[in-house]
């Protein structure tokens, strides 16, 4: 971590040592949240004992790390023991999780403290964080535009300075797109790099737990703690250390990588986003990177293939919500069990979730599988080959996170269907499994615009390294009214 990031981390870590500071911080977060609705649950006072207990007292605790004492919030579709696990749904409004996700437990063992659960589009389905049974999330840059989604609560919590980092989930861009809309960093790790145990499944072959952070180096520190094989997730993978990393990230041969831009596939960019892309390219060149054009010809098929796979898998994964084992049970219990299931699901799910379950059920119907699901999986192969081929010519790919700036609440020219169509830039990394990091580039008309870098599988290090260098040279502007630890300190005297 560079000096500035270390200083910020020390500021946050003071929360552990100073109960009065914690109290002022809690009050400020509550005030911010009353306006932004980023958190569904925030009650650190009722968990005061967690601050008293040094990390070393926890079972299997790691030695003190740079994450020791840092507070974080967790998207409410990721399990944390004794917290709610609503998934932003009426169906699970009263569910309390009996256990903790592996990724969260690893952060807790490193000394970080969960302080709340973040708002989201129901079950992670959406690009605006307006589809939540707990109300929409507000973007701290402009209350009239959406926060992005589905991890909008996580992104806003970080952008507003409530916490330095947050966990989200990224099935088709759900960490990166809100991170870009809120002017913070958002990592979608390689599929398999971080255990998904404790993440409520939406589309199992696409879902990953991701990170929202207020800096690239902090994102790296969080990722390093979370990553690695887990006996509870069969898809998790351990990566043996690579000798190339031994000399420190900036000293590796990747210090001045070649960055590929799939320019011909990026034809429909809003002028502000095109400008941000050009600015980012010139900055990359200024720090010594070479940029080249690469082809990503299958990009136009990414969004339809993604939505076939995502909805098909969602229809199967969400079948478990039957109102019997957990979640709200329909009061119409007079009839048979079937009536109870129908009643609980129909009353519990919101419109967007119902739409996706119905679409997924339709495409998996007998006779349609070759036309939809199988074909989408074959396209997925082509997309992955395309990305691999592009990465043969460069070490990183650069593309916008989203083709338009943060859009207005209510759609602002993008209806629900169009919001799905423009997800292609983020969905590509979920289809292919590659890691991608969204990072802030510029402010246009008062709204943040972000880009994303993609790397070969398990080369997250390259992403943090380049994004960190850009951040050090061109510091990121914070959201208006964002809380900083410095704001809280003067009140002490």
Segment 353 to 382, residues that bind other proteins, using CB under 8 A: 354-355, 357-363, 365, 372, 374-382
Catalytic residue among 75, 117, 188, 420: 75
Catalytic residue among 150, 169, 330, 465: 150
Sign, Cα dihedral of 410, 413, 417, 422: negative
Sheet with 185-188, side-by-side order of all strands: 39-42, 113-118, 71-75, 165-169, 209-213, 185-188, 436-444, 447-454, 396-400, 258-261, 290-293
Minimum gap (Å) between residue 334 Cβ and other proteins: 8
The answer to whether the CB of 203 falls within 8 A of the CB of 317 is yes
Question: Does 471 interact with other proteins (rule: CB under 8 A)?
Answer: no
Minimum gap (Å) between residue 274 Cβ and other proteins: 10
Minimum gap (Å) between residue 382 Cβ and other proteins: 6
Q: Which residues contact 240 (CB under 8 A, 6 or more apart)?
A: none
Q: Which of residues 13-72 bind other proteins (CB under 8 A)?
A: none
Which DSSP category does 412 fall into?
T
Q: Which position among 305, 437, 449, 455 is part of the footprint of other proteins (CB under 8 A)?
A: 305
| Beta carbons within 10 angstroms of residue 272's beta carbon | 15
Q: Which of residues 403-442 bind other proteins (CB under 8 A)?
A: 403-404, 413-414, 416-418, 420-422, 431-433
Question: Does 172 interact with other proteins (rule: CB under 8 A)?
Answer: no
The answer to whether the CB of 182 falls within 8 A of the CB of 69 is no
Q: What does the per-residue mask of binding to other proteins show for 107-146, with x meaning CB under 8 A?
A: ----------------------------------------
User: How many Å apart are CA 415 and CA 397, to the nearest integer?
Assistant: 29
Sequence-ordered strand ranges (E) for 281-435: 290-293, 396-400
Q: Which of residues 443-462 bind other proteins (CB under 8 A)?
A: 457-458
C-alpha distance from residue 69 to each of 31, 44, 63, 107, 357 (Å): 22, 13, 12, 10, 41
Query: For other proteins, which is the closer residue by CB, 206 or 438?
Result: 206
Minimum gap (Å) between residue 206 Cβ and other proteins: 8
Q: What does the per-residue mask of binding to other proteins show for 307-326, with x meaning CB under 8 A?
A: xx--x---x---x--xxxxx
Q: Which position among 335, 410, 475, 481 is part of the footprint of other proteins (CB under 8 A)?
A: 335
Q: Which of residues 244-303 bind other proteins (CB under 8 A)?
A: 267-268, 270-271, 298, 300-301, 303
Query: For other proteins, which is the closer residue by CB, 9 or 299?
Result: 299
Q: Which position among 30, 343, 409, 472 is part of the footprint of other proteins (CB under 8 A)?
A: 343
Minimum gap (Å) between residue 234 Cβ and other proteins: 5
The string of DSSP letters for 139-166 reads -TT-TTBB--SSSHHHHHHHHTTS-SEE
Query: For other proteins, which is the closer residue by CB, 219 or 302?
Result: 302
Catalytic residue among 174, 330, 344, 432: 174
The answer to whether the CB of 291 falls within 8 A of the CB of 285 is yes
The answer to whether residue 75 is catalytic is yes
User: How many Å apart are CA 291 and CA 263, to the nearest integer?
Assistant: 11
Query: For other proteins, which is the closer residue by CB, 188 or 469?
Result: 188
User: How many Å apart are CA 440 and CA 222, to the nearest integer?
Assistant: 19
C-alpha distance from residue 31 to each of 37, 114, 129 (Å): 10, 19, 20
Query: For other proteins, which is the closer residue by CB, 71 or 405?
Result: 405
Query: For other proteins, which is the closer residue by CB, 71 or 350?
Result: 350
The answer to whether residue 23 is catalytic is no
Q: Of the ranges 164-172, 174-182, 343-351, 484-492, which one interacts with other proteins (CB under 8 A)?
A: 343-351
**Nearest alpha carbon to residue 452 among 184, 149, 240:** 184
Query: For other proteins, which is the closer residue by CB, 25 or 191?
Result: 191
Q: Which position among 170, 217, 233, 461 is part of the footprint of other proteins (CB under 8 A)?
A: 233
Q: Hey, is 317 helix, strand or coil?
A: helix
- The tokens for 124 are 């992670």
User: How many Å apart are CA 70 and CA 11, to the nearest integer?
Assistant: 9
Q: Which of residues 88-107 bind other proteins (CB under 8 A)?
A: 95-96, 98-99
**Is 126 exposed, middle or buried (CB count within 10 Å of its CB: 0-12, 13-18, 19+)?**
buried
The answer to whether residue 282 is catalytic is no
Catalytic residues: 75, 150, 174
């Amino acid at each position: 971590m560079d000096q500035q990031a270390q200083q910020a981390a020390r500021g946050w870590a003071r929360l552990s040592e100073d109960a009065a500071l914690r109290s002022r911080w809690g009050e400020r977060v509550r005030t911010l949240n009353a306006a932004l609705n980023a958190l569904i649950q925030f009650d650190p006072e009722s968990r005061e004992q967690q601050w008293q207990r040094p990390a070393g007292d926890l079972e299997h605790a790691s030695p003190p790390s740079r994450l020791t004492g840092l507070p974080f919030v967790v998207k409410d579709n990721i399990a944390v023991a004794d917290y709610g696990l609503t998934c932003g749904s009426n169906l699970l409004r009263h569910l309390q999780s009996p256990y903790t996700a592996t990724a969260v437990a690893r952060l807790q063992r490193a000394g970080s403290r969960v302080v709340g659960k973040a708002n989201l589009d129901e079950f992670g389905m959406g690009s605006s964080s307006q589809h939540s049974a707990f109300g929409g999330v507000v973007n701290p840059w402009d209350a009239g535009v959406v926060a992005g989604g589905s991890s909008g609560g996580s992104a806003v919590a970080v952008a507003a300075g409530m916490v330095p980092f947050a966990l989200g989930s990224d099935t088709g861009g759900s960490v990166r797109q809100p991170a870009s809309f809120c002017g913070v960093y958002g990592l979608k790790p390689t599929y398999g790099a971080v255990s998904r145990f404790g993440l409520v499944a939406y589309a199992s072959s696409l879902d990953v737990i991701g990170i929202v952070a207020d800096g690239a180096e902090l994102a790296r520190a969080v990722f390093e703690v979370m990553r690695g094989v887990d006996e509870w997730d069969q898809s998790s993978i351990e990566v043996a250390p690579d000798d190339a990393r031994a000399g420190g990230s900036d000293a590796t041969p990747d210090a001045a990588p070649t960055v590929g831009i799939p320019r011909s596939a990026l034809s429909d960019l809003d002028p502000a986003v095109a400008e941000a892309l050009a600015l980012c390219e010139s900055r990359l060149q200024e720090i010594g990177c070479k940029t080249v054009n690469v082809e990503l010809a299958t990009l136009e098929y990414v969004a339809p293939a993604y939505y076939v796979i995502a909805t098909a898998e969602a229809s199967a994964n969400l079948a478990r919500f039957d109102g019997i084992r957990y979640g709200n049970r329909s009061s119409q219990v007079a009839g048979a069990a079937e009536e109870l299931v129908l009643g609980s699901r129909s009353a519990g799910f919101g419109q967007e979730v119902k739409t996706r379950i119905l679409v997924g059920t339709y495409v998996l119907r007998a006779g349609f599988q070759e036309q939809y699901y199988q074909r989408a999986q074959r396209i997925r192969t082509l997309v992955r080959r395309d990305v691999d081929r592009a990465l043969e010519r460069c070490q990183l790919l650069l593309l916008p996170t989203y083709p338009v700036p943060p859009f207005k609440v209510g759609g602002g020219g993008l209806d629900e269907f169009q919001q799905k169509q423009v997800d292609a830039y983020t969905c590509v990394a979920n289809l292919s499994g590659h890691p991608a990091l969204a990072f802030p580039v510029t402010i246009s008309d008062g709204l943040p615009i972000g880009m994303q870098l993609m790397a070969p599988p398990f080369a997250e290090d390259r992403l943090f390294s380049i994004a960190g260098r850009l951040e050090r040279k061109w510091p990121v502007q914070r959201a208006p009214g964002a809380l900083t630890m410095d704001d809280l300190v003067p009140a002490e005297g």
